[in-house]
Amino acid sequence: MEQNRQYYDKIAAGRRISDQRKRLGISRQRMAEYIGKAEKYYADIERGYCGMSLETMIGIAGTLGLTLDYIAFGEEEEHELPKETKSIMFYLDNCSEKRRKKAVELLQVYLSE
CA distance 86 to 52: 23
For the segment 17-40, what is each residue's pLDDT rounded down to a tens digit?
999 999 888 999 999 999 999 999
Q: How many domains does the chain contain in total?
A: 2
Give this prediction's pTM: 0.69
pLDDT at 71: 94
Give me the mean pLDDT over the 69-83 stretch. Answer: 77
Say which range, 29-33, 48-52, 57-61, 74-78, has the weakest mean pLDDT. Answer: 74-78
* CATH classification of the domain holding 47: 1.10.260.40
33/87 same-domain check: no
Q: How far is CA 77 from the centre of its chain?
A: 15
Closest CA to 64 of 23, 36, 99, 97: 23
16/65 same-domain check: yes
85/74 same-domain check: no
For the segment 83-96, what is each residue's pLDDT rounded down to a tens digit?
777 778 778 888 88
61/85 same-domain check: no
21/34 same-domain check: yes
Cα distances (angstroms) measured from residue 73 to each of 11, 32, 49, 63: 11, 22, 17, 18
Say which range, 7-16, 44-53, 74-83, has the weakest mean pLDDT. Answer: 74-83
Highest mean pLDDT: which of 3-7, 20-24, 100-104? 20-24
64/101 same-domain check: no
- Decide if pLDDT at 42 tops 80: yes
pLDDT at 77: 62
28/55 same-domain check: yes
45/88 same-domain check: no
70/24 same-domain check: yes
Q: Domain of residue 107: give its range.
A: 81-113
